[in-house]
Amino acid sequence: MDQRNRAAMGGENLLFLTDEQLRKGIEAMFFAYRGFTADPDRILEQHGYGRAHHRALHFINRTHGTSVNNLLGLLGVTKQSLNRVLRTLINDGLVESRVGRNDRRERNLFLTHAGRELERALSEAQRERMRAAYRAAGPQAVAGFRQVLEAMMDDEIRTQYDTLKERRP
């Protein structure tokens, strides 16, 4: 145990800040994320899509009529990278791109019926796992889970996350 840990354990019960505890948290994050994506991945594979498509579908569904720029901010990828994914979704008839009303430079993105169906299947698979985890852990654990995750985000991202959270469509 190094200096920092001895300091951290000073007065109170700060055992949860030892390097050992932090490392367990890191590994839990790594392994849990694998589970988190496993179920949608299986469905996506059947359609010849990848995670990038899932993410696009998710956020287009969340923020109906969003602009491409806004979507880029949420996804944290480049325009070109998103465009490739978006093009296939549009060509396959899962996403509709309409010229903006006020600003005709923008494109407003919507899911088609087929898009909503696939998004539903993907998110239901993901929710099912989350539901099982929540049920197993209980409400208090869930509150803690969310608190830690939110504290782990970059400030910029947390702002976007909060904005998303508050929206009531």
Partner DNA sequence: ATTTTAAGTCAGCCTTGTTGACATTCCAAG
Partner DNA sequence: CTTGGAATGTCAACAAGGCTGACTTAAAAT
Q: Rule CB under 8 A: is residue 114 a binding residue for a copy of itself?
A: no
Min CB(50)–DNA separation in Å: 1
What part of residues 54-73 is at the interface with DNA (CB under 7 A)? Answer: 55, 67-69, 72
Helix (H) or strand (E) holding 61: helix 51-62
Q: In angstroms, how far is CA 166 from the centroid of its own chain?
A: 16
What part of residues 21-50 is at the interface with a copy of itself (CB under 8 A)? Answer: 21-36, 38
Given a contact cutoff of 8 angstroms between Cβ atoms, the answer to whether 44 and 58 are in contact is no
Count, residues in the chain: 169
Cα distances (angstroms) measured from residue 166 to each of 161, 162, 169: 9, 6, 10
Among 93, 143, 163, 167, binds a copy of itself (CB under 8 A): 143
Q: Using DSSP bridges, classify how beta strands 95-99 and 107-111 pair: parallel, antiparallel or unpaired.
A: antiparallel
Q: Which positions lie near DNA, rule CB under 7 A?
A: 48-53, 55, 67-69, 72, 76-87, 97, 100, 102-107
Q: Which positions lie near a copy of itself, rule CB under 8 A?
A: 13-17, 19, 21-36, 38, 55, 62, 76, 123, 126-127, 129-154, 157-158, 160-161, 164-165
